[in-house]
Amino acid sequence: MQRRIILFGLVAGLLFAAAPQMPNTPAAQRFAAWLAAFNDPGDQAFREFSAKYLPKHPEKDTRFRNQTGGFEFIKAEDSTETRFSGIVKEKNSNQYARFVFEVEPAEPHMLAGFELRAIDDPNAPPPARLNEKELISALRAKLDQESKADQFSGTVLIAKNGTPVFTAVYGLSDRVKKIPNKLDTQFRIGSMNKMFTATAILQLVQAGKIQLTDPLGKYLTDYPNKNVATKVTIHHLLTHTGGTGDFFGPQFDAHRLELRKLEDYVKLYGTRDLAFEPGSKWEYSNYGFLLLGLVVQKASGEDYYAYVRDHIFKPAGMKSTDSLPESENVADRSVGYTKEDSETWQPNTNTLPWRGTSAGGGYSTVEDLLRFATAITNHKLLNEHYTELLTTGKVDARGSKYAYGFSDNVTDGVRWFGHGGGAPGMNGDLRIFPQSGYVIAVLSNLDPPAATRISQFVTERLPVK
């Protein structure tokens, strides 16, 4: 789950640095104003900008502003009236990021979407592809460096045709008790649960129990908001194009421990209307995947958690993956550590939902993620047709394609699919390379981008065959 809009370790609402030259479009001009407000050392400029253009009026993250020193605008990439993207650089470091800034078409051009992803120096040549031995050597050096800087704690696995060729373990599962991480340590996986939920939906489609064009209301017949029930289809929910929004925010924080069943989320958010016309745009929706869990229950006649356990985890041989409540003791589950509200690593206990959902928040191991990847590519969970349907991109998702619960990507001409997860004190990534047979699985009990940074390092250097 992208908790509080944490995107690869950089937080939405905390952004950028001023540009000497910006396109004369609403999106670019709003970006420039937001950038100046964020870079201002005080809070007043940001408050004034928020009141005018930000729908939820977030507070400025002063700690993040001080860490980065603000951002310097480097260059524009794409520009339309409502969408502006480009490159920025932290003033306090050599870290670059690619941003996508979207505004509503009508005045006053309120913020409609934002994404910021850490990237390597855009002026540097791309890393060279390495052979397997060279890659492993380079990766060990990278992991040693990240671990010594206290920027990585977790497990890493690379496999070729289902067989691990590299594994590594770093850091502590519990910093108070000094318990080290192990290869079979269970890490919270955030939004990676979406792969399991989408697979469950496609299994039911394959079985003829669900149609992708069906409206949500066919299954949730008493859903409170009729626009959502009648206009949003299963396809929309699977691709984040339904306009169903998120559930994280003040309401979630106030009721976090009361949300114990999937139905409890509908009681809290079910009257909310659509954020946009279904199918008109892509906007990541945790709530949409929460609803898919209820669809699984209705179409299968089984509890969601029992369904994925019996029809996905067991057939794949995944014995260390689940979403038991936080109140239950899971012997090898790591403690997550976050710096979201502190300069030092603190347990993420007060940010966790009572239980993971069909949108995210469960836990797994890198070995179980490999088992899941193998079951997917060997058509153990779905036949060939529905596996392709599950994993092939359908809609543009700001730099990649989004399939059904899987992101479909191309890096330096090499295709891979999978999904990541990030929230305070947790970060994970699974990447499956169908042409070469490689699989990358990385899990960490630190804030993003602890795991994503490692999986991207491998992705850029992985042999193409």
CA distance 432 to 130: 18
Residues 6+ apart with CB under 8 A from 367: 157, 164, 183, 184, 320, 441
Please name which of 90, 174, 222, 157 lies closest in space to residue 366, comparing C-alpha atoms: 157
Q: What is the pLDDT of residues 176-224, one digit of tens each?
A: 999 999 999 999 999 999 999 999 999 999 999 999 999 999 999 999 9
- In order of start, what are the domains of the chain with their CATH numbers? 3-119 (3.10.450), 132-190+333-461 (3.40.710.10), 195-304 (3.40.710.10)
Q: Work out the pLDDT band at 11, boundaries 50, 70, 90.
A: very low
CA distance 79 to 288: 29
CA distance 124 to 335: 37
**H or E stretch covering 141:** helix 132-148
CA distance 5 to 191: 12
Instruction: Please report the pLDDT score of residue 13 as a whole number.
Output: 34
Residues 6+ apart with CB under 8 A from 174: 334, 335
**Percent of the chain whose predicted confidence (pLDDT) is above 90:** 74
Instruction: Please report the pLDDT score of residue 67 as a whole number.
Output: 67
Q: What is the pLDDT of residues 238-290, one digit of tens each?
A: 999 999 999 988 889 899 999 999 999 999 999 999 999 999 999 999 999 99
Alpha-carbon Rg of the chain, whole angstroms? 21
- Count Cβ neighbours within 10 Å for each residue of 21-50 and write b for 16 or more, e otherwise: ebbebbbbebbbbbbbbbbbeeeebbeebb
Mean pLDDT over all residues of the chain?
Answer: 91
Instruction: Please report the pLDDT score of residue 51 as a whole number.
Output: 86
Q: What is the pLDDT of residues 138-147, one digit of tens each?
A: 999 999 999 9
Instruction: Please report the pLDDT score of residue 58 as a whole number.
Output: 67
Residues 6+ apart with CB under 8 A from 249: 56
Contact in structure between 337 and 347 (CB atoms under 8 Å):
yes
Q: What is the pLDDT of residues 47-101, one digit of tens each?
A: 888 888 887 666 666 666 776 788 999 999 989 999 899 999 988 887 888 888 8
Residues 6+ apart with CB under 8 A from 381: 199, 203, 311, 312, 315, 316, 375, 387
pLDDT at residue 2 tops 80? no
Give me the half-sphere count of Cα atoms (radius 13 Å) on the Cβ side of residue 60: 24
pLDDT at residue 43 tops 90? no
Name the token pair of 126. Answer: 């791309």
Using a 10 angstrom Cβ sphere, with 0-12 exposed, 13-18 middle and 19 or more buried, the burial of residue 213 is: exposed
Instruction: Please report the pLDDT score of residue 60 as a whole number.
Output: 63
Mean pLDDT of 301-305: 98
Contact in structure between 103 and 27 (CB atoms under 8 Å):
yes
Name the token pair of 437. Answer: 């047979």
pLDDT at residue 398 tops 80? no
pLDDT at residue 305 tops 80? yes
Q: What is the pLDDT of residues 412-445, one digit of tens each?
A: 899 999 999 999 999 999 999 999 999 999 999 9
Contact in structure between 371 and 317 (CB atoms under 8 Å):
yes
Mean pLDDT of 445-463: 95
Q: What is the pLDDT of residues 315-333, one digit of tens each?
A: 999 999 999 998 899 989 9
Taking the model in full, what pTM does it have? 0.85
pLDDT at residue 1 tops 70? no
Please name which of 142, 155, 189, 186 lies closest in space to residue 427, comparing C-alpha atoms: 189
Mean pLDDT of 110-122: 81
List beta partners, residue 360: 357
CA distance 338 to 342: 8
Q: Work out the pLDDT band at 5, boundaries 50, 70, 90.
A: very low
Instruction: Please report the pLDDT score of residue 97 as a whole number.
Output: 87
